[in-house]
Structure 1
Amino acid sequence: MAATTASKNENNLILRQSVLGARRFSNYFWAAVCTMGGAGFLLSSLSSYTKINLLPFSDPTQLVFIPQGIAMGFYGVAALLLSTYLWLIVYWDVGGGYNEFDRQTGKATIFRSGFPGKNRRIELTYPLEDIQAIRVEIREGISPKRALYLRIKGKGDLPLTRVGQPLSLTELENQGAELARFLVVPLEGL
C-alpha cells in the first residue's frame, strides 16, 4: 500500500500528493485483535460470574470470580475501550489528507484531518514564492525517522509525509526530488 501518491494534471500546473492517515493495515489489524481479545476476556469474566459458559472454545466457568474473573473483566473492558479508540481514528482517518501545489493560483495547500471538533479540518495555505526549500530528514536507529519538510519563510518547517511508519529511502528521495523540481527550490538534507 503506497503511503503517498502524487498526481499531476495534464499541463503540469498542479501537483497533488495524498497522505495516508490512520487507515493503514496495522491500525485495522490491532483494532481487530483488541476487539476479539477484549470480547474474549469480558465473556470469560461474565462466564465465571454466572457459571454459564459463554465461550465455545474454553470453559471459564471453572474460574473463581474473585480475583480472576474480575481481573479478566477489567482487561476485557480496557481492551474494548482501546479497540473503540482505534476503530474511531480509522473511521475519522486522523492524519489523512493531501499536499497540493498549484502554479496557476500560486498557492501551496497542506490539508489534514484531525479529531472531531472545531479543529477537525486542518488546512494551511501559503504562497509558492514563500517556499524556500524541501528538507529531507533521515534518522536511523531504534526509532527511525524519514520525512519530508516544506521550509517556508518566517514559518519554519512543515511536515509533508505521514506520521508513524517511515517511508522507504527510495520513495522519500523520489518524492523529495519530484517536489523540488516542481517548485524549483533546492532539496536539502541528502
Structure 2
Amino acid sequence: MNPQVEDIRIDFVTGSRRVSNFCWASIILSGALGFCAVGFSSYLQKDSIPFLSAEQIVFIPQGLVTFFYGIAGSFISFYLWFTIWWNIGSGYNRFDKRKGIFSLFRWGFPGKNRRILIQFSIEDIQAIRMEVQEGFLSRRVLYIRMKSQQDVPLSRLEEYSTLEEMETRAADLARFLKLSIEGV
C-alpha cells in the first residue's frame, strides 16, 4: 500500500485497530463483567452465574473489592475500545522530494490537537536507522536520523513481523531518498 509517484512516497501506518487490541479489549471486558457479576451476586447472596457460587463470598470486603475490580477493568476495556474506535496512532509518512518536505501525520485523541502533523526538511535527514532487539520481547523499529535533532520513529514496535520485511522497507526508503542505512 505505498502509492508512489516519482517524487512522492507515502507509507501508511496502522494505528490501534489491530487484532491484538480487539482481543485484549474483549478479554478484559469479559473478565471485568465476570468480576462485577460475582460482586453483585455476593451482595444479593444469590448465584447469578450458574457455575460460580456466591455463597462462599462475603460482600464486605471480598464482594465489594471484586465489584471494584470489575469496575476498574471496565474502564480499562472502554479505554481500549475507544482507542480502537478513534484509531489512535494511525496515519502516514509522506516524503515529497519536489517540495523537499518530510511530513509525519498521526491521529490522536479527540480534541483540539486530534490531527498531529509534523514537517521536516528532507535536507535535514541524515540516514535511515534500524533498531533491532531480538529475544522474548523482540523490538524492530525504523527511524529517520535527523542531522541536528532526535531520531524520528517511522513505525510501531511490532509493525514488522520479520527482519527481512524491515530490511526491505528500509532499503526501499533509503533508495528513494538516496541515503544510507544505519543499524543492525
| TM-score normalised according to structure 2 size | 0.89
Name the amino acid aligned to 2:94. E
Structure 1 CA distance for aligned equivalents of residues 152 and 64 of structure 2 = 47
Preserved CA contact (<8 Å) 1:45 1:72: yes
Moved more, 104-113 or 172-181: 104-113
Q: State the shift of 1:61 in Å.
A: 4.9
Deviations 1:41-94 (A, max 9, x none): 101111111234433443435532123211211221121111111112212222
Name the amino acid aligned to 2:82. L
Q: State the shift of 1:159 in Å.
A: 0.4
Query: What's the counterpart of residue 3 of structure 2?
Result: 7
Query: What's the counterpart of residue 22 of structure 2?
Result: 28
Query: What's the counterpart of residue 49 of structure 1?
Result: 43
Structure 1 CA distance for aligned equivalents of residues 66 and 178 of structure 2 = 59
Q: Does 1:128 align with 2:85?
A: no
Q: Does 1:70 align with 2:64?
A: yes
Query: What's the counterpart of residue 165 of structure 2?
Result: 171
Deviations 1:119-169 (A, max 9, x none): 322211122222221111112234432111112232231000114x25220
Structure 1 CA distance for aligned equivalents of residues 180 and 37 of structure 2 = 59
Query: What's the counterpart of residue 183 of structure 1?
Result: 177
**Number of residue pairs aligned between Structure 1 and Structure 2:** 183
Structure 1 CA distance for aligned equivalents of residues 61 and 125 of structure 2 = 61
Query: What's the counterpart of residue 82 of structure 2?
Result: 88
Structure 2 CA distance for aligned equivalents of residues 162 and 20 of structure 1 = 8
Aligned-residue CA RMSD (Å): 1.9
Q: State the shift of 1:105 in Å.
A: 2.4
Q: Does 1:113 align with 2:113?
A: no
Name the amino acid aligned to 1:41. F
Query: What's the counterpart of residue 131 of structure 2?
Result: 137
Preserved CA contact (<8 Å) 1:145 1:166: no
Deviations 1:15-52 (A, max 9, x none): 11111121111111010011111011101111111234
Percent identical residues: 44
Structure 2 CA distance for aligned equivalents of residues 15 and 57 of structure 1 = 57
Q: State the shift of 1:179 in Å.
A: 0.3
Query: What's the counterpart of residue 155 of structure 1?
Result: 149
**Which secondary structure state, in structure 2, belongs to the residue aligned with residue 110 of structure 1?**
strand
5+ residue gaps, structure 1: none
**Which secondary structure state, in structure 1, belongs to the residue aligned with residue 2 of structure 2?**
strand
Moved more, 41-50 or 122-131: 122-131
5+ residue gaps, structure 2: none
